[in-house]
Amino acid sequence: MSPAEELAHRRMVDSAPEGIVLVDALDPDQPLLYANAAFERLTGFAVAELIGRNLRLLQSKDRDQDGRNALREAIRRGESCRVLMRNYRKDGTMFLNEIAIVPLFDAAGRPVQYAGYYRDASERLKGLNSPTRDGRLPPLPPHISVRDDRLTGLYTAAFFEELLKREWSTAQREERCVAAFAIDIDALDLYNATFGRPAGDAAIRRVGHCLAGCLRRASDVIARVDGGQLLAFAPGVSAEQAVRIGQTMVERVRELRIHHPRSNVIRYVSVSVGIAAALPQAGQESESLLDQARRQLALAKQSGRNCSL
């Protein structure tokens, strides 16, 4: 990467709308190395107050959370992870923090740093952080607090469906569109047969993170369903905007240039994307949107793959 590209990348991270951090994976205490401006706004802490400290301080005294255990286990294994936790700002106010961590490896394959992505999910998941009558905080439901796909760190299909149902109801009340994307990694079985399952899993992780990068808003959601199949939705997105997002997904995965010599599509790993967008109507279920996206995915495959329809 050239100096100009490095500067552009740093500016992009600094100005990202979600909180982004880097922590030291080689130090047993995983101290903070970097945090962007969005993280400062989210937590109320200045970066200078946090550098060199472990971010468990955001949990305050509220340590008995499933998400905390899931994070610790993922770090122990050197894996990606996505959880939801109760965190506390500098002024003591609580918020539901949607946390995703991704290991960054050195040339020897050792995790040397972790990148963390932080989003405030309080508005989207209203009511889950309300105290009980005795003033205590209830545990987050299991399917909410630990809902990461262990391979990619993306959402699981079950949690994705839960979020889509909530968003569908909100969009129906507010009369706004929801777009959905059904995504399949092309010829993944041939990739696994050529390079082995571990290499196939690594390709799925790279593609999953690439696709997540195409959905930058806090309200956008992506999940791995099974194998190389993924689903995503984006609220408040028109059909025209959804088409552009789908095209970007196809292009960005192709630009990864993951070599795939046995693919009958192109020489690299590629994806096919089915797109659907709708204004939710009374009596209409969110599953109808996913069904339409899946039908479009089937058409994309019939059209030669490595495309979006």
pLDDT tens column, 21-76: 999 999 989 999 999 999 999 999 999 999 999 999 999 988 888 788 888 888 88
Sheet strand arrangement including 32-35: 32-35, 19-24, 111-120, 94-105, 81-88
Are both 92 and 46 inside the same structural domain?
A: yes
| Residue owning tokens 């130090």 | 27
Are both 204 and 227 inside the same structural domain?
A: yes
Using CA atoms, how far apart are residues 168 and 284, in angstroms rounded to an integer?
9
Helix (H, G, I), strand (E, B) or coil at 287: helix
Are both 133 and 215 inside the same structural domain?
A: no
Digit-coded pLDDT (tens) for 85-120: 889 999 999 998 888 888 888 777 788 898 888 988
Are both 170 and 137 inside the same structural domain?
A: no
Cα 78 to chain centroid distance, Å, stands at: 17
The domain of 69 spans: 3-145
Contact 48, 35 (CB under 8 A): no
Helices (H), 59-195: 66-77, 142-145, 157-174, 188-195
Confidence of residue 295 (pLDDT cuts 50, 70, 90): very high
Are both 280 and 172 inside the same structural domain?
A: yes
The alpha carbon torsion through 232, 244, 235, 296 (nearest 10 deg) reads -50
Last residue of a domain, one of 145, 180, 195: 145
Residue type, 38: A
For the entire predicted model, the pTM comes to 0.61
Last residue of a domain, one of 88, 115, 145: 145
Contact 64, 78 (CB under 8 A): no
Cα–Cα separations (whole angstroms), residue 232 to 88, 162, 202, 244, 246: 29, 13, 20, 14, 10
